Every structure is written in C-alpha cells, then in structure tokens.
Structure 1
Amino acid sequence: MTTRLGTSSPTTKKTAALVLGLGVGGFIDGIVIHQLLGWHHMLSGWYPPDTPENLHRNMLGDGLFHLFCLVLVLGGVVLLNRAAPLPARGLWGGLVGGWGVFNVVEGIVDHLVLGIHHVRHGADQLAWDLGFLALGVVLALVGFGLTRSAYR
C-alpha cells in the first residue's frame, strides 16, 4: 500500500516511531554501556577483550552494531517522512517504546540465550542482565502507554 504525505494511517505513524526508537535505543546502549562506561563490547562474552585480536573483533562487532542502529534510525526517519505529523506523545511514545523493545529483545537474545555479552561481566552479571530487561519492560510499557493516549 502506497502512502502519501498526510494520508498515512495511525499504524504507519506508530511503526515509524517504533523503528526510530529501536535505533535510538541501540545507540544509547552502544554509546553509554559500550563506549562511555566500557562495561562490555558487542562480542565480549565470546571474545574477552584481553588480546589485541579479541579487542579488534569486539570493536568490529561494536561498529557493525552501530551501523545496524543507524540503518534503523534512517529507516524510521524515512517512514516518518511518509507519515502525517505525529502527535508529540505518539512520537515520544514510539521512541521510548522502541527503546524498551530493543532492551528486551537484545537482553533476551544477546545476554541470556546467546551469551555474546552481558551488561556488566562478573559475579553479578545475571542481576545486571535482569535489571536491563526490567528497564526494557518499563520503557516499553511507558512508551506504549504514551502512544495509546496520543491516539485516543
């Protein structure tokens, strides 16, 4: 279905904001946890960054992860451009909800199932991973609540 500017459905608008939120959530994770705090890298559960080779693998993994986040953000912008203007709550709800969905999916798949990294490696890593998941659930609920209220 082709959508013209100003004639998009609420679903198109919600999808656009959600995709944008997924990318922004990934960037927040990568910038804050990977780069600023240095708690983990994308592949640090498989390749501890204790040798130059493993550090290089992790930096490459982080770069590919950030590239994927950029594709999501650009995709969200393209979708938003096709949609009629969003109510502010709809945009913020999608951003926050998408960030929450990112945390939940990334936390379950990367942290718990595949073990490619943990939020913070060490004795309390399960607690950090579960806290990350809990934050994701809260963000998703808040975001979807904002979105729902925007379209009432």
Structure 2
Amino acid sequence: MTTTAAGPATGRSVLAGVLIGVGVAAFIDETVFHQLLHWHHFYDGSTLEAGLVSDGVFHAGGWLAIVVGLFLFADLQRRRATVPKRVWGGGFLGWGAFQVYDGLFQHKVLGLHQIRYEVDLLPYDLAWNISGAIGVVVGAVLLVGRARAVDAR
C-alpha cells in the first residue's frame, strides 16, 4: 500500500510495532531476569564486570528500539496514517521473534548466557521459546488480512 499524506502507512505501522515489541521484550528481559532475579547477564562468559557492561549495552539497545518505534508511531499518528492492527501485529511479532532469537540463537548457538544456571533448563527453555512462538503466531495472525487506518481527526 502506498503511503500518502493522509493514507494508511501499513509498512511503517508494522515497523513501529516491531521496534516497540523488541524493545519491550528486551526491557522485560533485562529488568526481570538480569536485574531483579540476577539469573544471568547478557554475556556470562567472562567477569562480573564484563557481564554488567554487556547488560548496559543491551539495555541501551532495547531502549533505543522503543524510542525509535515510538517516534515512528507518533509520526504516523500526526499524519493520521496509523494502522492499529498492524502496530499491534508488529508488536507481538517483534516481541515473540526477540524471545525465540534470544532463546535459541543467543542461549543455544552462541552460548552467551542461559536463562538460569544450576537448574534443569528444559522447563525454562520451553516456557521461554513457546511464549515467544505464541507471540510470533499472534503477530502473524494480526498481520494477515485487511486492516484500516484510524482517522484521528
């Protein structure tokens, strides 16, 4: 769909949602699992200091995604071109894809960290990756089919 000054911006709506979804997932991961529960750091293959620095970079990246996504969303709102169903679909897709990427690639392939240490990982891995897969499915369902822009006049 072509974006005009007053027309819906489907692709930008999806992108705004994806960025916000990725950022929210990163924020929750960093805040809950890194800071509150102390289960792991973004990079656990070195010293505690290196882990804390990696957490800071990860946290900054998550906030950057949220800020850019919100600026895109605000611009869409200003131009009255937001497609809410696409924003929500992108949000769920971004959040779910982040979870699955983190759980499979960062945890298993790269070995940057595990969800938790000194426990049976299977229940944690299943919960992490299944919740992410559900987010991807919900996002994909929302992105399929027709959606209308909301006229915010």
**Which whole-Å deviations, capped at 9, do the CAs of 1:113-134 have from their partners, x for residues lacking one?**
0111011112412442233111
Contact 1:5 1:81 survives alignment (8 Å): no
| AA aligned opposite 2:26 | G
Report matched runs for 1:13-32 at 5 Å. 13-32=13-32
Contact 1:6 1:85 survives alignment (8 Å): no
2:54 corresponds to which residue?
61
Report matched runs for 1:2-151 at 5 Å. 6-44=6-44, 46-47=45-46, 54-83=47-76, 84-87=81-84, 89-148=85-144, 151=147
Partners of 1:119 and 1:5 lie apart in 2 by: 45
**Which whole-Å deviations, capped at 9, do the CAs of 1:77-124 have from their partners, x for residues lacking one?**
22223332232x433332222110110111122101011101111241
Q: TM-score, normalised by structure 2?
A: 0.80
Instruction: Flag structure 2 segments of 5+ consecutive residues without an equivalent.
Output: 149-153
Runs of 4+ in 1 over 6 A off after TM superposition: none
Instruction: Flag structure 1 segments of 5+ consecutive residues without an equivalent.
Output: 48-53
Change (3 A) 1:5 1:71: farther
2:151 corresponds to which residue?
none
Partners of 2:68 and 2:8 lie apart in 1 by: 16
Report the Cα offset of residue 56 of structure 1: 1.4
Q: TM-score, normalised by structure 1?
A: 0.81
Q: Percent identity?
A: 35
